Structure 1
Amino acid sequence: MVQVFVFLHVLAAIMMGIYLLLPFLSMRIQALTGQAQFGFLSVLFAVNRTGQLALVIALLSGGYLVSKVGNSVAWMIVSVVLFLALGALTGVLGGAMRKALSDPSGSKVKDHLGKIKSMSVICGILFFLIVGVMKFPF
């Protein structure tokens, strides 16, 4: 049973790898115009939703795996805080994307572009920290 949860956990981590690419992809939005911005942002919105689903799967499978292995309490607290922070910030990012996509002509994308780019960078840094904490537990 543990191997099934390890598989789910690793699969979710691979799916969340998009958060390492998202800062670079979000920088590309401003180079596009009008409908192209709207279409590209729609794809990034769908990718963010997939990453959020993967985050939930990783949190649940990781909770089961932690119960089977003896890790320090400090490591568990840091892991949960980082996961919750990433979940919260991806929610804020999704909200900004949803507001930018509220007009199909793409006229509202420029209003929310700064927030989308900054949240993407923060989410990328947080995911990098999560991978580091998971790879090198203390």
Structure 2
Amino acid sequence: MIQVFLFLHVLAAILMGFYLMLPFLSARLSALKGQAQHGFLHVLFSANRAGQLGLVISFLSGGYLAGKGHYSIVWMILAVVLFLALGALTGILGKAMRGALTDESGSQIAGKLGKIKSLSSITGVIFLVLIIIMKFPNWFM
């Protein structure tokens, strides 16, 4: 059973790998205009939804795996806090993207572009820290 949950955990982490690319992709938004900007933001919004699904799967499968392993309390608390922070930020990011997508001409995007870019950068950094913590849990023993 552990192998199934480990497979789900790694698969979800691969799905969430989008968050490492998101700061670079959101920077590309300002170079586009009108319908192209709207279409590209719609793709980013859909990928954010998929990343959030991966986040939930990874959180649940990771909870099972952490319960079966021998990890320090500090590591577990840090992992949960970072997962919750990532979930909250991606939710806020999704709301900003949804607000920018209200007009099909792309006129709402310019007002939300700064928020989208900054949240994307913060999300990318938190995900990178989360990967480092997951790869090296013995640093917290």
If the length of structure 2 is used for normalisation, what is the TM-score?
0.97
Give the whole-Å Cα distance in 2 for the aligned partners of 1:3 and 1:107.
48
How many residues are aligned here? 138
- Aligned match of 2:113: 113
Gaps of 5+ in 2: none
- Aligned match of 1:70: 70
Following TM superposition, the consecutive aligned residue runs of length 4 or more in structure 1 with deviations greater than 6 angstroms are none
Q: Does 1:19 align with 2:19?
A: yes
Shift of 1:86: 0.2
Give the whole-Å Cα distance in 2 for the aligned partners of 1:35 and 1:99.
16
Give the whole-Å Cα distance in 1 for the aligned partners of 2:59 and 2:73.
16
Give the whole-Å Cα distance in 2 for the aligned partners of 1:36 and 1:107.
12
- Aligned match of 1:51: 51
If the length of structure 1 is used for normalisation, what is the TM-score?
0.99
Gaps of 5+ in 1: none
Shift of 1:118: 0.2
Q: In percent, how many aligned pairs have the same letter?
A: 66
Give the whole-Å Cα distance in 2 for the aligned partners of 1:62 and 1:12.
10
Q: Does 1:60 align with 2:60?
A: yes
